[in-house]
Amino acid sequence: MELFPIGLVESELKDRDGAPKQGDEGAPDAWLHFTDAVVEGLEGIAVGDELLILTWLDRAARDVLRVVPRNDVTRGEQGVFNTRSPDRPNPIGLHRVTVLEVAEARLRVRNLEALDGTPIVDVKPLLRSIEER
């Protein structure tokens, strides 16, 4: 079960300390750069589309099973699968974005909380009947 990067995030967010927890908490717009090998797979994606971006959170810890979400001690420790912590056994990030610009092998997207240089592993259209039902 080996993933390979289909692209990389270009963002002004350089480290976890300065990054918002979720895209709707003040995350900046970002560029997604795709490899030549997969660019054909982007056909049909247009400005205004809502996408789910799956990333490999390469700066996360994989040996964490319990966390205190958002360091909120009133919530106490939770199993990581009950949180969106980047630290988890398989550190796959899931980010909802809106497409702002399509430029050949690049997409400009709104409000992405992923860090600069984060590998992209998949892109899926948001399904309103599923993710918003």
Binding site for its own copies (CB under 8 A): 1-6, 22-24, 38, 40-45, 49, 51-52, 54, 56, 58, 65-66, 77-84, 88-90, 92, 94, 96, 119, 121-127, 129-133
Instruction: Retrieve residue 43's tokens.
Output: 């056909």
User: Which residue has 């702002």 as its token pair?
Assistant: 100
Quick check: 22 and 84 in contact, CB under 8 A? yes
Give least dist CB 117 to its own copies, A: 14
| Tokens matching residue 94 | 């899931």
- Rounded to a whole number of angstroms, the minimum distance from the CB of residue 35 to its own copies is 9
CB–CB of 52/59 below 8 Å?
A: no
Is the CB of 16 or the CB of 66 nearer to its own copies?
Answer: 66
Taking the complex as a whole, how short is the minimal distance between the CB of residue 16 and its own copies, in angstroms? 18
User: DSSP per residue over 85-100, as a string?
Assistant: -S-SSS-EEEEEEEEE
